[in-house]
C-alpha cells in the first residue's frame, strides 16, 4: 500500500503492567511494512472506563483523515465491550483507516478476505449484543412500570409562590417584550437551564390540558 501514516495504540490496566512487549511487536510490523510517520498513543487505565486520553486523541486524528492504519495488539485493548470495539472499528472503516490486530490475526491493510469476514462477523455480533441490551432495558422498564415504580428523575418540587411565578412567566412569554429566562432563574433561584426545562414542562402541560378540554 506504499508508505502509510500509522498509529500504534497501547493500553494496560494498571501502572504495574508494561506495554513493552506490545510496543516492540507493533513497531516491528511498521518497520517491516515500511509504514512511516508512526505515532504512538498509550493509556494506563481500566478498559471499563469510558474516557481514555490516548484513545480519544487517536480517534480525533482518525476523524480528521490524518491516519491510514491503526495497530493494536488485541481488540480488548481498544474497547471496554464488544459494542464499543465495533463502534471504533466502524469509525475507522468509515474514514478508510486500516486496522491491524496481530494478536488475533486481523489485518485490513490489504485485500484480505479473511480479515473482512472477521470484521463483518464482529459487527454483526455487536449489533446482536446491542439489540439484546435494548430489549432487556425495555423489558426492565416495562416491569418497573407494572410494579408502579416511577421512572426518571424526580420532578423539582416548587412552592406555591414559585409555581405562580412560573405560570406568570409563561403567560408573559406569549407577549412582547418577553422576559428573559435569566430573570426567571434568578427569581426561582435555579440555573438558566432548569428555568428553560421548567417552562417547557409547564407549557407542555398547558397544551395537553387544552387538548383534553377540547375533546
Whole-number Å distance between alpha carbons of 39 and 62: 12
Q: Within 13 Å, how many C-alpha atoms sit on residue 103's CB side?
A: 14
Evaluate the CA torsion angle 110, 113, 115, 120 in order and state its sign. positive
pLDDT of residue 3: 64
Reported as a single tens digit per residue, the pLDDT across 170-199 is 778 777 777 888 888 888 777 887 888 878
For residue 177, whether the previous peptide bond is cis, meaning omega lies within 30 degrees of 0, is yes
Whole-number Å distance between alpha carbons of 9 and 11: 7
pLDDT band at 63 (very low <50, low <70, confident <90, very high): very high
Phi and psi, residue 122, nearest 5°: -60, -45
Q: Which is higher by pLDDT, 128 or 69? A: 69
What is the overall mean pLDDT for the chain?
A: 79
pTM tops 0.85:
no
Phi and psi, residue 159, nearest 5°: -70, 165
Per-residue exposure over 28-66, b if at least 16 CB sit within 10 Å of its own CB, e if not: ebbeebebeebebbbbbbebeeeebebbeebbebbeeee
Identify the DSSP state of 108: -
Q: State the virtual CA torsion across 23, 1, 78, 105 in degrees, nearest 10.
A: -80
Whole-number Å distance between alpha carbons of 126 and 113: 20
Reported as a single tens digit per residue, the pLDDT across 128-171 is 666 777 777 878 877 877 887 766 555 556 678 778 888 888 77
> Residues with catalytic annotation?
13
Provide the percentage of residues in the chain whose pLDDT is more than 90. 18
Kindly list the strands in the beta sheet with 36-44, ordered across the sheet, starting from the edge strand earlier in the chain: 36-44, 5-12, 69-72, 98-101, 106-107
pLDDT band at 24 (very low <50, low <70, confident <90, very high): very high
Tell me the three cell numbers of residue 158: 416548587
What is the topology classification, in CATH, of domain 5-128?
A: Rossmann fold (3.40.50)
Amino acid at each position: 500500500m506504499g508508505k502509510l501514516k500509522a498509529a500504534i495504540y497501547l493500553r494496560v490496566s494498571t501502572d504495574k503492567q508494561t506495554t513493552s512487549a506490545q510496543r516492540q511487536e507493533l513497531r516491528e510490523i511498521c518497520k517491516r511494512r515500511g509504514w512511516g510517520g508512526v505515532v504512538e498513543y498509550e493509556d494506563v487505565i481500566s478498559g471499563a472506563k469510558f474516557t481514555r486520553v490516548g484513545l480519544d486523541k487517536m480517534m480525533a486524528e482518525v476523524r480528521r483523515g490524518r491516519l491510514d492504519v491503526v495497530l493494536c495488539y488485541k481488540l480488548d485493548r481498544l474497547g471496554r465491550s464488544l459494542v464499543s470495539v465495533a463502534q471504533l472499528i466502524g469509525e475507522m472503516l468509515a474514514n478508510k483507516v486500516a486496522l491491524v490486530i496481530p494478536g488475533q490475526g486481523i489485518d485490513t491493510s490489504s485485500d484480505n478476505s479473511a480479515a473482512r469476514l472477521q470484521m463483518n462477523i464482529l459487527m454483526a455480533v455487536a449489533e446482536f449484543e446491542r439489540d439484546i441490551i435494548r430489549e432487556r432495558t425495555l423489558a426492565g422498564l416495562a416491569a418497573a412500570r407494572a410494579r408502579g415504580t416511577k421512572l426518571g428523575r424526580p420532578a423539582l418540587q416548587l412552592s406555591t409562590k414559585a409555581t405562580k411565578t412560573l405560570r406568570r412567566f409563561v403567560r408573559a412569554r406569549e407577549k412582547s417584550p418577553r422576559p428573559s429566562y435569566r430573570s426567571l432563574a434568578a427569581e426561582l433561584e435555579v440555573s438558566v437551564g432548569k428555568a428553560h426545562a421548567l417552562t417547557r414542562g409547564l407549557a407542555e402541560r398547558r397544551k395537553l390540558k387544552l387538548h383534553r378540554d377540547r375533546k
